[in-house]
Chains A and B, each alone.
Chain A
């Protein structure tokens, strides 16, 4: 399967709750509809916060995985 194209990467490692989703929301404002954001976070709260944020705002969480203590999320912007 082809890797998903990432339009922007946001490094939120070291930031505590709720800043990963606050930074994500800010970054998404600047992206066009259809763009994909890659979010890196170390706050364990992001495991539940990011899917909840995507669901609430109507954006699409494509993948989420943990890589050596870093949580990696791919999120597609669905609407303004």
Chain B
């Protein structure tokens, strides 16, 4: 494998959907454990997962609890970038990002490479 692999994962679901909130962390945990550099971006309801204490209450069937996964990603040097939490759901429905371009504007380093 190449000396250095990177994985960017966007998280758009929050505690109200434990399975979809947890799956990105499962991917991230497996990746950091496999020497892959991981960057996680949080948007919409996903922003709530990195607010203090919120991850403690999120558990999806068949997966490790979210709080332990979050700790592992951090421990292995995964980088977490939180966008702006917006009211309600639906901000990230299909086409919303392209119309508003808000991810690119909020996190130009994530999508545009290293500064």
Question: Which A positions have Cβ atoms within 8 angstroms of B?
Answer: 15-19, 21-22, 24-26, 49, 52-53, 56-57
Assembled-state Cα–Cα distance A49/B29 (Å): 12
A57 near B35 (CB under 8 angstroms)?
yes
* Inter-subunit contact B64/A25 (CB<8 Å): no
**B34, A25: Cβ atoms closer than 8 Å:** yes
Q: CA–CA, A26 to B68, complex, Å?
A: 14
Minimum Cβ distance to chain A for residue B93 (Å): 29
With an 8 Å Cβ cutoff, the count of chain B residues facing the other chain is 16
Residue in chain A with minimal CB distance to B36: A56
* Contact partner, A56, options B1, B63, B76, Cβ 8 Å: B1
Chain A interface SS verdict (over half) = helix
List 11 additional A-B contacts (Cβ < 8 Å) besides A16-B62, A25-B34, A57-B34: A16-B63, A17-B63, A18-B30, A19-B69, A21-B34, A24-B33, A25-B76, A26-B33, A52-B34, A53-B33, A53-B34
Closest residue of chain B to A28, judged by CB?
A: B33
Interface code B25-46, partner A: CB below 8 Å = 1, 0 otherwise?
Answer: 0100110111100000000000
Residues of A within 8 A of B64 (CB): 15-19
Digitize B79-112: 1 where CB-to-A-CB distance is under 8 Å, 0 elsewhere.
0000000000000000000000000000000000
Contact, CB under 8 Å: B30 / A49: yes
Contact sample, A vs B, 17 pairs, CB 8 Å cutoff:
A17-B26, A17-B30, A17-B63, A18-B29, A18-B30, A18-B69, A21-B33, A22-B30, A25-B76, A26-B33, A26-B75, A52-B34, A53-B30, A53-B33, A56-B1, A56-B35, A57-B35
